[in-house]
Amino acid sequence: MRHIMVLNSKGGCGKSTLATNIASYFATQGAAVALADYDPQRSGLDWLARRPADRPAIAGVAGFEDGLRHAPRTADILVIDAPARSHGTELTDLVKHAETIVVPVLPSTIDMQATTTFLEELKSVPKIAKKDAKIAVVANRVRDNTLIFDELDEYLTKTRVPYIATLREAQNYVRAYTRGLGIFELPEYLAWPDWDEWEPLTAWLRTKRSQP
């Protein structure tokens, strides 16, 4: 079973948005997918509750209650939606569950600053330092041609953590979440720009590059 975790100690950067979309992506590809929600705010489980019965099923796991004890053994892919404010031993414990970690970051000075500190902490977790888990950063909610995006782009290029994809700010994410879907499940004429932006991320997730 693959374990893909979406993680950043900063709240509101898009962890649940990325986790639900990664889960939906693999489900639409025919994989058996489970989504473990480690955040007591339950966004991941709330999204699953909204999911229409005629879409590929995704199993829900209340990770914040009892970890992965009830995760279905038959899942090919387990996506983990992590809570904000994960630090210290809690962070080390969380990272034990994953071989692949995706870190979303917003183009804002506060978020970039917080993420710099977080990435340093993450890189010092022994499992990551030993490369027993691979990490990548994704720029999220980017509005093109803004100065702050240029700053984010420059910042991400300097972090020495692979910078995999840039996702725009789009109502499609809100629209999809409300309906229990991912952007891959919206009509092509609406969502094709987002599908294009996700391509490098899904390509990374599909290959060995994202695995130890």
Ligand X SMILES: Nc1ncnc2c1ncn2[C@@H]1O[C@H](COP(=O)(O)OP(=O)(O)O)[C@@H](O)[C@H]1O
**Binding residues vs ligand X (CB under 6 A):** 11-17, 43, 84, 140-141, 167, 169-170, 173-174, 177
- Give the H/E segment covering residue 144: none
Distance CA 81, CA 98 (A): 11
Question: 17 or 100: whose CB is closer to ligand X?
Answer: 17
Question: 15 or 51: whose CB is closer to Mg ion?
Answer: 15
Query: Which residues does 83 contact at the CB level (< 8 Å), separation at least 6?
Result: 38, 39, 40, 41, 64
Closest distance of CB 17 from ligand X, Å: 3
Question: 14 or 107: whose CB is closer to Mg ion?
Answer: 14
Closest distance of CB 208 from ligand X, Å: 27
Q: Is 21 in the site for Mg ion (CB under 5 A)?
A: no
Contact 158, 165 (CB under 8 A): no
Contact 15, 82 (CB under 8 A): yes
User: Which residue matches tokens 């879907």?
Assistant: 181
Q: Is 16 in the site for Mg ion (CB under 5 A)?
A: yes
User: Which residue matches tokens 């966004």?
Assistant: 43
Q: Is 141 in the site for Mg ion (CB under 5 A)?
A: no
Among 28, 29, 43, 92, binds Mg ion (CB under 5 A): 43
